[in-house]
Amino acid sequence: AQKITQTQPGMFVQEKEAVTLDCTYDTSDPSYGLFWYKQPSSGEMIFLIYQGSYDQQNATEGRYSLNFQKARKSANLVISASQLGDSAMYFCAMREPPRSGNTPLVFGKGTRLSVIA
């Protein structure tokens, strides 16, 4: 079963507008962490934001915020005031506690965001 689902292969957003990138996850463990990474065309992976399953508040980092809805098992990334430099692939990832057979970090297939001037 797919543990991380990103349903939007591609998204377009006008410069200076906000955009939401969707991520749903599947786990039966009460303790887990959710990460978002940005991958520009050059290939490097840039860590953006983290949300722990026990965190009471939604995570925020500058223009990035995470809309965490635990009951729905969703962790959507919100980028405010989009900039041309935000054009990239965005990956949602989840970690579960290290037990036998657990993959340390599981990635979704990504969403390609294009910011239009």
Partner 1 sequence: DGGITQSPKYLFRKEGQNVTLSCEQNLNHDAMYWYRQDPGQGLRLIYYSQIVNDFQKGDIAEGYSVSREKKESFPLTVTSAQKNPTAFYLCASSIDWVEPQHFGDGTRLSIL
Name the residues that contact partner 1, by CB under 8 A: 4, 33, 35, 37, 42-47, 50, 91, 93, 95, 98, 103-105, 107-110
Provide, rounded to whole angstroms, the least separation between the CB of residue 19 and partner 1: 20
**Nearer to partner 1 (CB atom), residue 68 or residue 91:** 91
**Nearer to partner 1 (CB atom), residue 64 or residue 107:** 107
**Nearer to partner 1 (CB atom), residue 15 or residue 61:** 61
Contact 14, 82 (CB under 8 A): yes
Provide, rounded to whole angstroms, the least separation between the CB of residue 50 and partner 1: 6
Report d(CA 60, CA 56) in Å as an integer.
12
What six digits make up the tokens of 57?
Answer: 């508040």
Contact 86, 77 (CB under 8 A): no
What six digits make up the tokens of 102?
Answer: 């657990």
Provide, rounded to whole angstroms, the least separation between the CB of residue 16 and partner 1: 28
Contact 82, 64 (CB under 8 A): no
Neighbours of 67 (CB within 10 A): 16
Provide, rounded to whole angstroms, the least separation between the CB of residue 49 and partner 1: 9
**Nearer to partner 1 (CB atom), residue 99 or residue 117:** 99
